[in-house]
Amino acid sequence: MNVPEPKPLPRWARRKDARPEEIIAAALELFVERGYASTRLDDVAAHAGVSKGTLYLYFENKEELFKAVVRGNMLPVLQHGEDLVQAFSGSSADLVRQLVRGWWELTGSTRIAGIPKLVIAESGNFPDLAKFYYDEVIQRALSMFRDVLQRGVDSGEFREVDNDHLVHVALAPLVMLAVWGHSFGCCEREKLQPARYLDAYLDMLLHSLQLAQAQEKMHARTKK
């Protein structure tokens, strides 16, 4: 690795490999900004600095490009979360906190945060995208969260709950936070503060998971 790479490929060759990613990045930006239907491939091409025809060299059609945008951006995020869970060794409450705050730090200020809204909006038009998203994103996220909660229950940290349904409930406010920023966020006079929203969320979630005895302690701590 210390060996200087000989002959860095001429610029155009490198670009060639980068093209799909550049296109996906341009498409993500525009899809998030304008929605699927209102985004013209002309504009995507212009944004990516290529011609319209070039789009079709890399993606079969608009729909496939859309899917690639979703796939290419969501999977790394999930992987990141799963890796965190895997490696974590602290309390389950801390794991929840870190997972949630880490996720937001990673994507909250990014265009990626616009994807959930996009996919929700287009789920009806692209059933197989919805299927993919459900299988590869939602299921994995639910699964991960379910495992985390179970970890807390198993360790005696959390009370027993209807885990299968609770994970849906518990993830909802996170999804909505992402959706909010790309729907009604701009209507607000006083903008919702994500950090405080997440504090309230974690407070609620963890409060509701505490065992009775722990609750007392927490309560005491809160009062302090």
Partner DNA sequence: TATGAATGAGGATTCATTCAT
Partner DNA sequence: TATGAATGAATCCTCATTCAT
Paired with 158 in beta bridges are: 210
Of the candidate spans 33-41, 74-82, 98-106, 173-181, the one that interacts with DNA by CB under 7 A turns out to be: 33-41
Q: How many CA atoms lie within 13 A of 211 on its CB side?
A: 11
Task: Closer to a copy of itself by CB, 13 or 169: give it.
Answer: 169
Record the tokens describing residue 169, joined without a space: 């409930």
> Are 99 and 84 spatial neighbours (Cβ–Cβ below 8 Å)?
yes
Distance CA 116, CA 167 (A): 17
> Residue 13: which of DNA, a copy of itself, none does it interact with, CB under 5 to 8 A by kind?
DNA
Task: Map residues 39-68 to x or -, x wherever contact with DNA holds by CB under 7 A.
Answer: xxxx-------xxxxx-xx---xxx-----
Q: Applying CB under 8 A, which part among 10-18, 51-59, 150-158, 175-183 lies near a copy of itself?
A: 175-183
Q: How far apart are alpha carbons 206 and 1 in whole angstroms?
A: 46
The residue among 63, 58, 73 whose CA lies nearest residue 136 is: 73
Residue choice 24, 68, 100, 138 for contact with a copy of itself (CB under 8 A): 138
Residue 203 CB, nearest distance to a copy of itself (Å)? 7
Using CB under 8 A as the binding rule, whether residue 34 contacts a copy of itself is answered as yes
134 binds, among a copy of itself, DNA, none (CB under 5 to 8 A by kind): a copy of itself
Mark residues 36-65: x for contact with a copy of itself by CB under 8 A, - for none: -xx---------------------------
Question: Given the complex with a copy of itself, which of 42 and 83 has the nearer CB atom?
Answer: 42
Q: How far apart are CA 127 and CA 122, in angstroms?
A: 8
Phi, psi of 210 (to 5 degrees): -65, 145
202: three-class secondary structure by DSSP: helix
Instruction: Name which of DNA, a copy of itself, none residue 208 binds, using a CB cut-off of 5 to 8 Å depending on partner kind.
Output: a copy of itself
Q: Which of 180, 70, 189 is nearest to 132 (CA)?
A: 70
Question: Where along the sequence are the contacts to DNA (CB under 7 A)?
Answer: 10-13, 15-16, 19, 38-42, 50-54, 56-57, 61-63
